[in-house]
Structure 1
Amino acid sequence: MAKDIMVCGVSVKVKNSVSIYNQIASLNLNQSLSAVIDRLDEDLLQIEFSNGNIVDVGWYPSFDEQGEFIIYTISDNNWDEPCARFTTRDGRELIALLKQSIAMASN
């Protein structure tokens, strides 16, 4: 069954999820980085899928204006060797990369 989740104010469809931790739903990336930096940490979004795969989104390093979003796609709980790793500082690109990661992880 598909669910719609909010990511930075944008609706994103997620299929086959069993758990979702979402602290990024209302983050407004149209604001200046300094206005939202106190909300940017390593634990922003995690989606676990029924097949055991995980998509994890965080800001690294936490609360650092020089940081970036990192999106990991994890299989077999192997955090040392992610299936995919994307980085961006751009909100629109974050959504596109997240959708790509969700499609990869949910199959």
Structure 2
Amino acid sequence: MTIQRQKTHLKYKKNKEKMLINEIEKLDGTINFDDISQVDQSSEISLIVDELKEDLFQASLPFEQILDIGWYPEFSETGAFKVSLIEHLDWENPIHSEKAKNWTDLKIALENTLKKVRIK
């Protein structure tokens, strides 16, 4: 990767991370952990599968809600991102859950899930 491409990639990655963080903050949420920002989101999934694990991102939201992002099964090329909205720690019955096989679909799944967050 050239220096210019690395700089462009870092700027793009930083903007995407900032967008997610801004959305969480708008919802009065707190990020518990964020390993997904360390993953090269400009790469093909098959090239970074060894970095894709079940626990990639988690944020606490008002009304005992949790936004969770993971890759299932972890470290598997046949896996998928799973974005879940959990309420009252009821992991067996998420409020909303959506799968995505690539970064573009993950963004859509995340947007759809954030729309389900209870704010009142």
Q: Under TM normalisation by the shorter chain, which class is it?
A: 0.7 to 0.9
Q: Hey, which of these two has a bigger chunk of strand by percent?
A: 1
Tell me by how many angstroms 1:74 deviates.
Answer: 0.6
Q: TM-score, normalised by structure 1?
A: 0.82
Aligned to 1:32: 44
Q: Hey, which of these two has a bigger chunk of helix by percent?
A: 2
CA contact (8 A) 1:73 1:105 kept: yes
Identity rate, percent: 23
Q: State the aligned residue count.
A: 100
Aligned to 2:74: 62
**Of the candidates 88, 91, 102, which is equivalent to residue 100 of structure 2?**
88
Q: TM-score, normalised by structure 2?
A: 0.74
Map 1:31-50 onto structure 2 (within 5 A).
31-50=43-62
Greater length-normalized contact order (CA 8 Å, ≥ 6 residues apart) = 1
Tell me by how many angstroms 1:72 deviates.
Answer: 0.9
Give deviations 1:32-79, integer Å, cap 9, x for gaps. Answer: 223211110000011111321011110000100010001111111111
Dislocated runs of 4+, deviation >6 Å: none
Map 1:15-26 onto structure 2 (within 5 A).
15-26=27-38
- Measured in 2, the distance between the counterparts of 1:70 and 1:16 equals 22
Tell me by how many angstroms 1:106 deviates.
Answer: 4.9
Residues 26-35 or 49-58, more deviating: 26-35
**Structure 1: gaps spanning 5 or more residues:** 1-7
Aligned to 1:3: none
